[in-house]
Amino acid sequence: MSAVAVGLVLALGLAACGGGGAGAGNAGGGQTAAPADTLVGVAMPTQTSERWIADGNNVRQQLQQAGYQVDLQYANDDIPTQSQQIDQMITRGAKLLIVAAIDGTALSSQLQAAASQGIKVIAYDRLIRSTPNVDFYVTFDNFQVGVAQANALLTGLGYKQENGQPGPKQGPSVIELFGGSIDDNNALYFYNGAMSVLKPLIDNGTLVVKSNQTALEQIAILRWQQETAQKRMEDLLTSSYADGTVINGVLSPYDGISRGIITALQNAGYGTPAKPLPTVTGQDAEIASVNLISTGVQSSTIFKDTRKLAEQAVNASKSFLSGQTPQPNDTTSYNNGVKVVPSFLLPVQTVYRDNITPVLVDTGYYTPDEIAKGQSS
């Protein structure tokens, strides 16, 4: 086939996807009007983090617009509660489940029950592990999230510039590492992505982890909790920094964890002209952290547009509910221990103080007023 012909085939293939997405690959996918009594169960982990509130609202709104009934539940980060909620969705007659799991391995029996009744299951943002009964996965490129966090750390420390070019910094820096919840598959991807960038620099002495805690098991923060992160940072300051060594950077995988780290550092005297706060990374562009970035307290975050993730979940739902199969854009990365789950991955963006406006304001995600207040209105 000539290069021109290949280009044409690719262009037609892309056009068939209707603007790119997890909708059915064949024409007409998702066009069928939803019967008004079709119930979709949406299981979200917690309302303590605003990203999940936005995810839940976006998914519900977009499903309702498409004509479906929606049962949206939050589980307060409690595994038995989430299992029970999914049981109830099945009992109420849900025809499809969208699940952001708390513990990626804890839902096998619920999903077995779903499968035996022909209910399709879409894993939302977090992979559901150790079960054959997950049909599709919509998420962001989680390895790249970790790479982006590590690059943002190196940028804050001065080894790199925001455009990826080398920065002015020479000589070593002292850092600490934080990881996500060990039962969330994403935590491993974020860690592996970050370590693909940081490990060579730790090994050659450019980055010094003074606590020597670099394994995911040592740095993980169960359920991504801010208070747990604050406590670990306090413990690190006591155990490894009592000699007065100054910390230059902290790799943090999530904005709530970042705020816990920052509080511990501020309580220990960081955040003055004589002793500036270290570079602290983040994830999710939570409004409280965007406020901290706008005032130079937190260094960066990774923006994941939950509106777009909801859209992919809804596209995939429409495909399944009209008897078709959604179109993945990744069929190799996410092995859940039983099978490789066909996935649709979205890209992410790093936010620093100087690109808050184009990335978060101009796209309508936050208003300048919300950022100034550090609160969504």
Give the footprint of ligand BGC on this chain (CB under 6 A): 49, 51, 125-126, 180, 184, 186, 224, 254, 283-284, 304
Q: How far is the CB of 257 from ligand BGC (least distance, A)?
A: 8
CB 361 within 8 A of CB 368: yes
In the complex with ligand BGC, the residue whose CB is nearer, 129 or 304, is: 304
Contacts within 8 Å (CB) and 24+ apart, 265-273: 265/233, 265/237, 267/234, 268/234, 268/237, 271/297
Residue 71's contacts (CB-CB under 8 Å, 6 or more residues apart) are 39, 40, 41, 42, 88, 89, 92, 94
Q: How far is the CB of 326 from ligand BGC (least distance, A)?
A: 20
In the complex with ligand BGC, the residue whose CB is nearer, 237 or 293, is: 293
Q: How far is the CB of 369 from ligand BGC (least distance, A)?
A: 24
Q: At what angle do helices 306-321 and 50-65 cross, to 10 degrees?
A: 40
In the complex with ligand BGC, the residue whose CB is nearer, 303 or 320, is: 303
SS3 104: coil
Q: How far is the CB of 284 from ligand BGC (least distance, A)?
A: 5
In the complex with ligand BGC, the residue whose CB is nearer, 178 or 224, is: 224
Q: How far is the CB of 304 from ligand BGC (least distance, A)?
A: 6
Q: How far is the CB of 186 from ligand BGC (least distance, A)?
A: 4
Distance of alpha carbon 228 from alpha carbon 219, whole angstroms: 11
SS3 139: strand
DSSP 8-state code for residue 41: E
Q: How far is the CB of 50 from ligand BGC (least distance, A)?
A: 10
In the complex with ligand BGC, the residue whose CB is nearer, 184 or 311, is: 184
- Termini Cα distance of the chain: 55
DSSP 8-state code for residue 140: E
Distance of alpha carbon 368 from alpha carbon 208, whole angstroms: 38
Triad 137, 143, 145: Cα angle to 5°? 100
For ligand BGC, the nearest residue by Cβ is 254
In the complex with ligand BGC, the residue whose CB is nearer, 51 or 95, is: 51
In the complex with ligand BGC, the residue whose CB is nearer, 254 or 366, is: 254
Alpha-carbon dihedral of residues 3, 4, 10, 14, nearest 10 degrees? 150
Q: How far is the CB of 51 from ligand BGC (least distance, A)?
A: 6
Q: How far is the CB of 328 from ligand BGC (least distance, A)?
A: 18
In the complex with ligand BGC, the residue whose CB is nearer, 23 or 253, is: 253
Paired strand residues for 226: none
In the complex with ligand BGC, the residue whose CB is nearer, 68 or 190, is: 190
Triad 134, 311, 45: Cα angle to 5°? 55
Neighbours of 115 (CB within 10 A): 16
Distance of alpha carbon 180 from alpha carbon 282, whole angstroms: 11
Number of H helices, E strands in the chain: 13, 12
